[in-house]
Amino acid sequence: MAHDENDLIVRLRERARRTRRRNLRLIHEARNGHIGGDLSATDILTVLYGEVLRIDPERPDDPERDRFILSKGHASGVFYTTLAHSGFFPADELSTYMQPLSRLNGHPANLKVPGVEASTGPLGHGLPIAVGAALASQIDGASWLVYALTGDGELQEGSNWEAAMAAAHFGLDRLVLTIDRNRIQLASRTEETMGLEPLADKWRAFGWAVREVDGHDHGALLSAYRDVPLESGKPSCLIAHTNKGQGVSFMRDSTGWHHKVPNDEQLEMALAELAEAP
Amino acid sequence: MSERHDCREGFARSLLELAEQDERVVALCNDSLGSSMLGGFKERFPDRVFNVGIAEQDLIGIAAGLANGGKKPFACGASCFLTGRALEQIKADLAYSGADVTLCGMSSGVAYGPLGPTHHAIEDVAWLRAIAGMTVMVPADASETAQAVSAAYTHPGPVYLRLSRLPVTIVHDADHRFEIGRVSRLREGDDVTLIAMGVMVERALDAATTLAGSGIEARVLNMSTVQPLDGEAVVAAARETGAIVTVEEHSVYGGLGSAVAEVVVASHPVPMKLLGIPGVFAPTGSQTWILEHFGLDAAGITAAAMEVAERRRNGRG
């Protein structure tokens, strides 16, 4: 069992490395994208799509599938890469990212791309949608769960707190929110822009079961997702502590890499670092 | 005078029937159970009605999520808040996502009269018909409303159902069948066409009776779907009657009149008069008073029709 678990962690690590490398090339080719927030979310998406979500790319509309809703829709680079590597569409198509008539526009659209549950981009939309989906599962007494991923800066949108109240009020323990807590929004730190702390206390006060995890530790993420619902009758909130630009030294925890595009030299340096990383 | 009914009666009746037939039908409201007339629904199906509190953005997002989870949500609230407060959710979560959700906008127009312009919904049709993929329905009476609810249920994709609370007579014959995107022609005439939506249709019919007394035969069209608009009926009205008056309990900017004018200028330009709220916040007064103040009553419509018919005779566009 422990051996299998080690194999799994190794597999996830390789998958995350592959995703980051493809993601970087995607943005370099498109000359557009949001690399900082892509890289902070990569490990979360890798664990969800690599092991946690009960989904079948051959049947993206299966009524009993788990739902994943990317509220931080600007992280489309890592999302599309993950969906392609999961078999939802051919990986070759990634090279069309943001090109004319591509279905892979800068923010994901559910009517265009299989595996996308809701069109997102404007912030503060994903969690209310996830609440509605979890409510549908609860009404039916179904077993499928709803996973939402928000950024941290986007929690400044009030709609999230409307949804936070509703999820607790309706007792939606089929809902699992992960917050990509990279501490940086567009071009500044969240706490200097509009402070979010004490973030865990806020979610607890709104009636959620909360756990804080290292959002780049696959084992810790896996363990947390295996424990949901964290409390019966309550929605679960995982605050994943991450770094913007994780995996590339000169991008990591930098306020300058929200949507900056690496030049040729920077791309080569980044890819080399990722090739050598343990 | 025939019996008058609030359109919401037709809404409540029809929604309950659908819920009896299909367990996927759920109702949501923003602390507006009573004004949305969902009391009967809650009594019959307490587990299928959800009050999300005073939170319109959340209301729309939750409705989109319920649709994703296989439900048929009807999201209800006062039109002013439902559309204005949650416009981006309507655009992104419903229209751009193709969510099969029916928005039920209650007490539209100036129904809240003296409560003031914050509570008037006179921009909602303009906002929603500009969003790709939205269907906008404004039924004329309680009976047509009941059919519109059923049509919204059948129609895949988001619908905005705009309802009034002003009691009106049943303007259609018993055999009327509401169809999305199709006008109903309630009176024949060749001198001018009155195109109205919602509870203004009854007033347009009253005006047509008055006009007939003055020798002007007015065609009356109930444009109960504003998006998609029945362009063919508009072109025919322009060609065959040569003058058009539009009547809406809405701003003249961006609503029914604008939609009709867009078709008329591109096909067969004729004199037009757009009756509605003329780009101002309405002064304090009851709904009836405000409508009369802006000429949205039979007398005002009659005068407008005479004016455009005269312009047509004089050959001035």
B29 interface with A at CB cutoff 8 Å: no
Q: Indicate if the pLDDT at residue A218 is higher than 60.
A: yes
CB neighbour list of residue B299: distance below 8 Å, 6 or more residues apart: B207, B210, B292
- Match 């995982």 to its residue by tokens: A238
**Torsion over CA: B22, B24, B28, B33 (sign):** positive
- Evaluate whether A203 touches A212 at the Cβ level (below 8 Å): no
The span from the CA of A250 to the CA of B254, in Å, is 51
CB within 8 Å: B88 and A122: yes
Give the orientation angle of helix A35-47 with respect to helix A76-85, to 10 degrees. Answer: 40
CB within 8 Å: B98 and A137: no
Cα–Cα distances in angstroms (integers) from residue B217 to residues A28, B205, B223, B235, in the given order: 68, 11, 19, 18
The span from the CA of B126 to the CA of B46, in Å, is 35
**Phi, psi at residue A80, to the nearest 5°?**
-65, -40
**Torsion over CA: B171, B172, B174, B178 (sign):** negative
Q: Indicate if the pLDDT at residue A265 is higher than 70.
A: yes
Tell me, what's the pLDDT at B316?
56
A47: three-class secondary structure by DSSP: helix
Q: Indicate if the pLDDT at residue A1 is higher than 80.
A: no
Nearest partner of B180 among B109, B128, B217, B228, judged by Cα: B228
CB neighbour list of residue B304: distance below 8 Å, 6 or more residues apart: B245, B273, B275, B295
Tell me, what's the pLDDT at B290?
98
Q: Mean pLDDT in runs of 10 for chain B (317 residues)?
A: 87 97 98 92 97 98 98 98 98 98 97 97 98 98 97 98 95 95 97 98 98 97 98 98 98 98 98 98 97 98 96 78
Q: Which residues make beta-bridge pairs with B76?
A: B29, B104
Tell me, what's the pLDDT at A134?
98
Tell me, what's the pLDDT at B9?
94
For residues A59-85, give the mean pLDDT: 98
Minimal CA separation from A32 to chain B, in Å: 22
Chain B partners within 8 Å of A130 (Cβ): 65
Minimal CA separation from B85 to chain A, in Å: 11
CB neighbour list of residue B126: distance below 8 Å, 6 or more residues apart: B250, B251, B253, B254, B255, B258
CB within 8 Å: A137 and B55: no
| Structure tokens, A37 | 């927030």
Predicted complex: ipTM over 0.90:
yes
Q: Is the pTM of this model over 0.90?
A: yes
Q: What is the CATH number of domain B184-307?
A: 3.40.50.920
Identity of the residue numbered B300: G
Distance from CA of residue A129 to its chain's centroid? Answer: 15
- Which of B 51-80 lie inside 8 A of A, CB atoms? 52-53, 55, 57-58, 60-71, 73
CB neighbour list of residue A208: distance below 8 Å, 6 or more residues apart: A164, A167, A168, A177, A234, A235, A236, A237
Task: Report chain A's terminal Cα–Cα distance, integer Å.
Answer: 23
CB within 8 Å: A139 and B68: no
A48 interface with B at CB cutoff 8 Å: no
Give the orientation angle of helix A126-140 with respect to helix A159-169, to 10 degrees. Answer: 20
A183: three-class secondary structure by DSSP: coil
Look at the domain B7-162 and name its fold: Rossmann fold (3.40.50)
- Evaluate whether B223 touches B194 at the Cβ level (below 8 Å): no
> Which residue in A has a C-alpha nearest to residue B75's C-alpha?
A132
Chain B partners within 8 Å of A61 (Cβ): none
Do B7-162 and B184-307 come out as alike in CATH topology? yes
For residues A46-75, give the mean pLDDT: 98
Minimal CA separation from A64 to chain B, in Å: 9
Pick from B26, B50, B68: CB nearest A67: B68
A161 interface with B at CB cutoff 8 Å: no
For residues A229-253, give the mean pLDDT: 97
Tell me, what's the pLDDT at A3?
79
Please give the share of chain A, as a percent, with pLDDT higher than 70.
100
Chain B partners within 8 Å of A141 (Cβ): none
Chain B partners within 8 Å of A63 (Cβ): 70
Pick from A63, A132, A162: CB nearest B64: A132
The span from the CA of A241 to the CA of A215, in Å, is 5
- Match 């949507």 to its residue by tokens: A259
- Which of A 121-150 lie inside 8 A of B, CB atoms? 121-122, 124-125, 127-137, 139-140, 146
Minimal CA separation from A236 to chain B, in Å: 17
Parse chain B into domains and list their residue ranges: 7-162, 184-307
> Which residue in B has a C-alpha nearest to residue A110's C-alpha?
B97
Pick A2-276's CATH classification: 3.40.50.300, 3.30.540.10, 3.40.920.10, 3.40.50.970.
3.40.50.970
CB neighbour list of residue A19: distance below 8 Å, 6 or more residues apart: A42, A45, A46, A78, A81, A82, A85
**Torsion over CA: B153, B156, B160, B166 (sign):** negative
E-assigned strands of A54-145? 67-70
Minimal CA separation from A177 to chain B, in Å: 15
Confidence class for position A278, pLDDT limits 50, 70, 90: confident
Average pLDDT score over chain A: 97
The span from the CA of A98 to the CA of A101, in Å, is 8
A213: three-class secondary structure by DSSP: strand
B117 interface with A at CB cutoff 8 Å: no
